[in-house]
Amino acid sequence: MNEYGYFRVAAGVPRVRPSDIRYNTHGITELYRRAAAEGAAVLVTPELVVTAYTCADLLLQSALLDGVGKALAELAEQTRGSRTMLVAGAPLRKGNALFNTAVVMAGGRILGVVPKSYIPNYNEFYEKRWFASPTADDNGKLQLGGEMIPFGTDLLFDKGGSKVGIEICEDLWVPAPPSGRLALAGADVILNLSATDENIGKHAYLRELIRQQSARCRCAYIYASAGIGESSTDLVFSGNAIIAENGRVLAESPRFRPEALYECVDIDVESLRNDRMKFNTFSDNSRSADTSVRTVDAGNGSGAKGLLRHIDPHPFVPADDSRLRERCEEILHIQAWGLMQRLSATGCRKVTIGISGGLDSTLALLVAVKAFNMLHLDRKGIVAITMPGLATSQRTHSNAWKLMELLEMTPVEIPIGKAVDQHFSDIGQNPQSHDATYENSQARERTQILMDMANKTGGMVVGTGDLSELALGWCTYNGDQMSMYGVNASVPKTLVKYLVSHYAATECRPDIAGVLADIVDTPISPELVPAASDTEIAQKTEDLVGPYELHDFFLYHMLRHGFAPRKIYHIACIAFKGVYDRTTVKKWLTTFYRRFFSQQFKRSAMPDGPKVGSICLSPRGDWRMPSDASSALWLSSLDDCDATEDEEDGK
């Protein structure tokens, strides 16, 4: 595990020939050299790879088993002088029984042997014809190559501070896989040496099984399954090298290829451990389970350079179009369902929403329409109020009116200019001083109108502010920060435009879609400071507080994974290479921490709103923080980040 908590792993599937141990050993060695050259801490290969899985009754021949011992000694020697741990499948005798095992080698030695726990004897698999099922009494040591080697299903291997556990093929398919117990005992990484044949629909099931087990165990799951060269007498083995982490497949080899297969990627062990600590049911489960293990020292980590891992610059926005559509649809339903439930519980049949012609208020309005449709309520109950002020542009004002009219609700226009001027006079504010008082007075005047109109109509105020604004405190306390239900409260800014675009594409007429498209293209602005003309927008939010794509990235990794500033800076520089230089990333990360800490008091008083994703700042749920907490520790750690250090590429 390196300084940022990454642990490089590899899964390899060599070409094999049944019972041709020399040929198979050569194939394993070639993959091992590749893994070692890439700085992998561990390479896992398939089940019984030394002999090939499909040897059948040849597995009981002494000539074959004697050859296995010699091959393992040769493979162990290959690891001498290397920091990469090799795990290879082989049949091994212990006492009067033959076991299907994973043999762990590093530093020129065999470190341990893990037998397969569950031996299948059904359908096409009749392994009990050859192999014994291990019992607790078998846990101990095995004589191999003149040494007594740790043997058993209770072994963990400590590789440079990361803990590695092993199970074999069928072990994953049982109701309580050994990997569950090993993860509860501290395994960060689970290796699976497998020989899974192909049949209709099985691969999709297998892939989901691996993904789910990595999520359930909050671990990395490294899977290598038999491929080219295995006998096709009755079965076909296509080869699989799959690496999953906490419910996500990070790397996956193509199937049905004539060459050896290989995948290598960096696992984020720090993220996994933070998750286990954060979701306390994991530790509760570990205290109630049998987690007695023996730990074998497997040497130092690999010292891998660079980063073999894709860092998504937009973690809230799926890159795949189909997944993005699915996510947008689900979020819109969650938002609308939450508002529908609040309307039903309070007996309200009307809502008031401030419509600016910007993205956030547009999304809130669309959610209200969806909720009213669910309740079969007349849309006239949506009192949409546009409140042009001292800096409202013609573009946003026009779009607000078009949207309200086309959606057939109750449109209202209440200009705030005179009221704000009177307020300035009352408090002695110079109208030419465009300071915080100038800006916040407008925001609070709009909120007062919305609240009073809600009282007048017997409705509730639907808030429009989003997650990113709450994180930065980019909202006016008791102004746009306040509402009676905030439907956008856990929707990040980088996702809002996709939600509006999705609604435009799926749920409205072309004329409405055209207005929504222009709103999506409008620069983000609070429009509180006048421009040179009413067709321009003077304030562009991202010029003032920084790019939202950066802030959403910072927010995600701080809250979801608990990463320290130094790591967030490191991965942001990789994710946004070619977009922002390191100095720019550091500047806005510093701004993020300063604002996040200083603006907590606004989040402490935020109204109710539905949680839609993994990140939420509700003080009643996901995020509880003192409003006077100091950011000094976080900011001082950024001082150690050198903005001129060499960049490292992600995969």
Structure tokens at 268: 């984020």
Q: Are residues 337 and 215 in the same domain?
A: no
305 located within any domain: no
Distance between CA 648 and CA 628 in Å, rounded?
Answer: 36
Question: Who's near 649: CB < 8 A, 6+ residues apart?
Answer: 306, 307, 574, 577
Axis crossing angle, helix 510-521 with helix 493-506, rounded to the nearest 10: 160
Q: Are residues 260 and 394 in the same domain?
A: no
Q: Are residues 515 and 633 in the same domain?
A: yes
- What number of other Cβ atoms are within 10 A of residue 583's Cβ? 9
pLDDT at 145: 83
Clarify whether 169 is annotated catalytic.
yes
Clarify whether 602 is annotated catalytic.
no
Q: Helices then strands (H, E): number in the chain? A: 20, 22
pLDDT at 507: 87
Q: Are residues 342 and 286 in the same domain?
A: no
Q: Are residues 288 and 345 in the same domain?
A: no
18 touches 52 (CB < 8 A) = yes
Q: Are residues 326 and 277 in the same domain?
A: no
Clarify whether 219 is annotated catalytic.
no
pLDDT at 649: 58
Structure tokens at 150: 């740790």
Q: Express as a percent the part of the chain with pLDDT over 90.
A: 89
302 located within any domain: no
pLDDT digits (tens, 9 = 90+) for 470-493: 999 999 999 999 999 999 999 999
> How many structural domains are present in the chain?
2
Distance between CA 144 and CA 312 in Å, rounded?
Answer: 46
- Catalytic, out of 55, 159, 167, 169: 169
Structure tokens at 391: 């800096």
224 located within any domain: yes
313 located within any domain: no
For 564-615, the DSSP string reads -HHHHHHHHHHHTTTTS-HHHHHHHHHHHHHHHHHTHHHHHTPPP----SS-
Distance between CA 169 and CA 225 in Å, rounded?
Answer: 8
Q: Residue holding tokens 């405190």?
A: 473
Q: Are residues 41 and 97 in the same domain?
A: yes
Residues in the chain: 651
Q: Which mean pLDDT values do the consecutive 10-residue runs of the chain (651 residues) have?
A: 94 98 98 97 98 97 96 97 97 96 97 97 87 93 93 97 97 97 98 96 96 98 97 94 98 95 98 95 90 94 88 96 96 98 97 96 98 97 95 92 95 96 96 94 97 97 97 96 98 97 92 95 81 63 90 98 96 97 96 98 97 96 95 92 56 57
pLDDT at 539: 65
312 located within any domain: no
122 located within any domain: yes
Whose CA is closest to 245, among 406, 468, 9? 9
What is the domain-level CATH number for residue 339? 3.40.50.620
Buried-exposed string 433-452: b where 16+ CB fall within 10 A, e elsewhere: ebeeebbbbbbbbbbebbbe
Q: Are residues 272 and 329 in the same domain?
A: no
Distance between CA 288 and CA 603 in Å, rounded?
Answer: 37
80 touches 110 (CB < 8 A) = no
Beta strands (DSSP E) in 255-333 are: 261-268, 294-297
645 located within any domain: no
What is the domain-level CATH number for residue 256? 3.60.110.10
Q: Are residues 334 and 422 in the same domain?
A: yes
Q: What is the pTM of this model?
A: 0.93
Strand partners, 91: 100
Q: Are residues 208 and 271 in the same domain?
A: yes
Last residue of a domain, one of 297, 330, 359: 297
pLDDT at 646: 46
Radius of gyration of the chain, Cα coordinates, nearest whole angstrom: 30
3-state secondary structure of 43: strand
556 alpha carbon, distance to own chain's centre: 9
H/E stretch holding 150: strand 147-151
The residue range of the domain holding 261 is 6-297
Q: Residue holding tokens 């090939």?
A: 52
- Catalytic, out of 38, 55, 94, 116: 116
Distance between CA 557 and CA 565 in Å, rounded?
Answer: 10
In angstroms, the Cα distances linking 405 to 382, 460, 512 are 12, 21, 10
Q: Are residues 376 and 498 in the same domain?
A: yes
pLDDT at 618: 97
Question: Who's near 4: CB < 8 A, 6+ residues apart?
Answer: 270, 567, 570, 571
Axis crossing angle, helix 493-506 with helix 321-346, rounded to the nearest 10: 90
Structure tokens at 2: 């390196």
Q: Residue holding tokens 């070692």?
A: 36
138 touches 151 (CB < 8 A) = yes
How far separated are the first and last CA of the chain, in Å rounded? 18
For the four alpha carbons of 392, 396, 400 and 401, in that order, the dihedral sign comes to positive
pLDDT at 301: 82
- Catalytic, out of 47, 127, 263, 439: 47
pLDDT at 644: 46
Q: Are residues 41 and 83 in the same domain?
A: yes
290 located within any domain: yes
- What number of other Cβ atoms are within 10 A of residue 291's Cβ? 16
Structure tokens at 416: 């705030």
